[in-house]
Each structure stands twice: as structure tokens, then as C-alpha cells.
Amino acid sequence: MTELVVTFTEEQIAAYAEASGDRNPIHLDPEFARSVGLPGVIAHGMLQMGLLARVAGDPGRLRQLSCRFAGMVRPGDTVTFRAEEEGGRVTLTALNQDGQQVVTKATAELT
């Protein structure tokens, strides 16, 4: 089993927004995020998926990665990303500090 524990920060989310070009204000502006019904800024789903890919295995062997985003990740949240491989198929999990899944149906296929 491979595991990665990440505590998300506003700086990390802003850096991802800059690097990815996804500057949606729900990821950067707490007031805007609240104005559209969110509890504050949230991390990008693709940032979470990238972290899943890190635990999935050797990037040179990664053939497919999929997941469903199931919960919001906010600055200060600690998420544990885990991977278990069996015969080239990898089952992935991502649980926040309260034990809640932030992604579901997460799998990877390796060559």
C-alpha cells in the first residue's frame, strides 16, 4: 500500500490555480465562494486527482486514472491518499481528517 498525507493550504491551491490556468474564483476568493453557496474556497478537483496519480504507482506505467469527486476539500483539511495494487489494477482512496471520502470510485490501471 502506498500512502500520501496532504494538508491543503490556500497557498498550494493558489499555486495550482496559477500553474493550471484554472483561476475560477471559487478556488481563490473566499467572499466569492461564499456568495455562490460554498463554505469558502475549495481545492481544485484536478489537484486532488494529481495527488491520487502520485500514489497510484509508477507514472510511466499509468494507463488510466478515474474517480468521482465526492466532497469539498478546503484549506486546512488533511487528506490521506492511499493506493493498493493487485495485478495492475489499483484501488485508490482519499479520506479527509474526519474519515469522509472526498473521492469515490477511484481506480487506476497500470501496464
Find the CATH number of the domain harbouring 63: 3.10.129.10
pLDDT for residue 22 is more than 90: yes
- The answer as to whether 83 is a domain residue is yes
pLDDT for residue 88 is more than 90: no
- The answer as to whether 34 is a domain residue is no
pLDDT at 31: 98
- The answer as to whether 93 is a domain residue is yes
> d(Cα 44, Cα 42) in Å, to the nearest integer?
7
How many domains are contained in the chain?
1
Range of the domain at 47: 2-9+43-110
- The answer as to whether 102 is a domain residue is yes
| DSSP β-ladder status, 62-69 and 101-110 | antiparallel
pLDDT band at 38 (very low <50, low <70, confident <90, very high): very high
pLDDT at 20: 97
- What are the phi and psi torsion angles at 58 (to 5°)? -55, 120
- The answer as to whether 14 is a domain residue is no
Mean of pLDDT values over 57-66 = 93
pTM: 0.94
- The answer as to whether 88 is a domain residue is yes
- The answer as to whether 78 is a domain residue is yes
